[in-house]
Amino acid sequence: MLSKNWLLSISLATLAMGFQMQMPFDTSRFQDWLPSNGNSYRHYSTVPLDQLPIDVHQYKNDMVIRINYAENKELKKLLFSSQPENKPEDSNNHKDTKIHYSRWAHNNVKSTVDLQIDEDNLVGLIGRFPSLDYTVIIQDLAQKVYETYPQDFERPGKSKIYAQKDDYVYKSTAEVLDSMKVDVMSELFFREYRPLETIDAWLDIIQQTYPDIITLEEIGHSFENRAYKVVHFSVPDGNVDHSQKKTIVVNGGVHSREWISVSSVLYTVYQLIQLYNENPTSKIFSHLDFLFIPISNPDGYEYTWRSDRLWRKNRQSTLYPGCFGIDIDHSYDYHWIKSSDWACGEEYSGEQPFEAYESQIWEDYLNATNNDHKIWGYIDLHSYAQEILYPYAYSCSEQPRDEENLIELAYGISKAIRVQSGKTYDVLPACIDKDADLLPDLGSGSALDFMYHNRAYWAYQLKLRDSGSHGFLLPSKYIEPVGEEIFAGIKYFCLFILSDDR
């Protein structure tokens, strides 16, 4: 008669064999050079630690998988839990059998969720759900993170090349400004993702070059005392009083790891300037004002360049020592609900509305300039999913005003993007994306709902590329193509608003 231990050993061996067939092999043992962005990156494991942009070894053995949880309620319950196993009081549990992971994104329509998870925890997840339906979408996360930084990127303060040039911290800042001396509209800036300092320097030059139409406003300071900046794009028109102009707000960088949202806001500014140079009398300029917020989370964004590429929240302190950051997009005072996530979690809402510095700064600015800006449109850029979301996020039972026209405009934006690049952006209510009826706190206190209900007639959240093969780590070669398609969508948005007789 077979013993239970022997049967258990056979079962575990079978599980391990199946797991190995799905698991990626260790690329560092076989590759020294990996292609990315048309260039060649050495594998991070062969690069000295002080030559890496950040310590990417923190992601060693991590991967990103996509799980289909359809018709498995227990699996879905686990995947959308707030993961209390990460709390400090559990740290002494030496028999921890809980599954540790970070949830990247989910598609409620397709019943899939993307997880960042290491090999050991994936083994544990398969052990708990032997029929787990999953695919690996990023095999070597540490390498993928490494390749999102510019290839010649250097940590602050290392190079003498740029230390002599206006005391810039990053080499890329001096290089971009040198290129702008030859051509102020040089596209060099958009060949790579850029740190905060380089972005600020680029915007300063743009303002100096176009002082009549571009104004940089510092409307507040973050927890770490970084400037919260708004780019005001307004073309003077003697025939149209400023008070008659409709204002469009384009926002990016709320979640700091979503670099493509930052570059897309900046690329829209760039493209508007190009359009102005070609056609300064366009109705877009005579009847519309623009407010651009390229980086709505300056502390978090800088942190992704110095410490953790995948950081999501801002960086302010919380009630819990050692836990930093509030999800800015859960901090607005419209149907705000305290999140089920704890203070160290990525979706922590804070203890009260507007607790996040950045959300309060934006609210104060809107109140102070209420008579100056009649906000007609609000577009909040995020990643990733290739979706256009319309209000409301907090509940599917609440119908937005003028829903039919909201949907019509959303499909028009999607079509404009598809004509530009061939990419499809799905249109759906934000509550479906958030699964708000099942998990109300995930859709509560969003900037989309707050702006739509209180400030803007039209409001959308656009989740940019891609649909999952790169996730938050979209290679820099896509900066311009994504920028082009988003500008096409925003241009359609503007023309639609101009044709609206409200």
Identify whether the C-beta of residue 331 lies closer than 8 Å to the C-beta of residue 356.
yes
Gap between the Cα atoms of 257 and 448, Å rounded? 19
- The CATH code of the domain at 213-499 is 3.40.630.10
| Phi/psi-derived region of residue 386, left when phi > 0, alpha when psi is between -120 and 50, beta in every other case | left
Please tell me the predicted confidence (pLDDT) of residue 501: 64
Identify whether the C-beta of residue 129 lies closer than 8 Å to the C-beta of residue 136.
no
Identify whether the C-beta of residue 250 lies closer than 8 Å to the C-beta of residue 458.
no
Identify whether the C-beta of residue 212 lies closer than 8 Å to the C-beta of residue 257.
no
Task: Output the CA torsion 358→362→364→370 (10° steps).
Answer: 180
Same CATH topology for 20-146 and 213-499: the answer is: no
Torsion over CA: 437, 438, 444, 446 (sign): negative
Please tell me the predicted confidence (pLDDT) of residue 502: 60
Q: Beta partners for 113?
A: 67, 106
Please tell me the predicted confidence (pLDDT) of residue 163: 40
Gap between the Cα atoms of 368 and 352, Å rounded? 22
CATH 3.90.1330.10 is the classification of domain 20-146: no
| DSSP string for 22-89 | HSPP-GGGT-SEEEETTEEEE-GGGS-GGGSSS-GGGGTTEEEEEEE-TT-HHHHHHHTS--GGGSGG
Dihedrals phi, psi of 325, to nearest 5 degrees? 100, 145
Q: Which amino acid is at 413?
A: I
Gap between the Cα atoms of 157 and 159, Å rounded? 6
Please tell me the predicted confidence (pLDDT) of residue 71: 85
Q: pLDDT truncated to tens, each residue of the chain (502 aa)?
A: 444 343 344 344 444 444 444 444 444 433 333 444 445 899 999 999 999 999 999 999 999 999 999 989 999 988 887 654 445 444 444 455 689 999 999 998 899 999 999 999 999 999 999 999 999 999 999 999 999 999 888 777 544 444 444 578 888 898 899 999 889 999 999 999 999 999 999 999 999 999 999 999 999 999 999 999 999 999 998 677 767 899 999 999 999 999 999 999 999 999 999 999 999 999 999 999 999 999 999 999 999 999 999 999 999 999 999 999 999 999 999 999 998 888 999 999 999 999 999 999 999 999 998 777 889 999 999 999 999 999 999 999 999 999 999 999 999 999 999 999 999 999 999 999 876 455 666 789 999 999 999 999 999 999 999 988 999 999 999 999 999 999 999 999 999 999 976 6
Q: Using CB atoms within 10 A of its CB, is residue 30 exposed (0-12), middle (13-18) or buried (19+)? A: exposed
CA distances from 450 to 394, 442, 445 (A): 10, 15, 7
**DSSP-based three-state secondary structure for 166:** coil
Of 466, 387, 384, nearest to 432 by C-alpha is: 387
| Domain assignments of the chain as residue spans, ordered by start | 20-146, 213-499
- Bridge-based pairing state of the strands 387-390 and 458-464: antiparallel
Q: How far is CA 2 from the centre of its chain?
A: 54
Place of tokens 């409001």: 459
* Rg (alpha carbons) of the chain, rounded to whole number: 24
Per-residue H/E/C for 253-291: CCCCCCHHHHHHHHHHHHHHHHHHHHCCCCHHHHHEEEE
Place of tokens 């498995």: 72
**Up-side HSE of residue 98: CA atoms within 13 Å toward CB?**
16
Q: Beta partners for 382?
A: 463
Report H helices in 147-248.
160-163, 171-182, 196-209
CA distances from 55 to 25, 143, 155, 214 (A): 22, 11, 11, 38
Please tell me the predicted confidence (pLDDT) of residue 346: 92
- Bridge-based pairing state of the strands 458-464 and 374-383: parallel
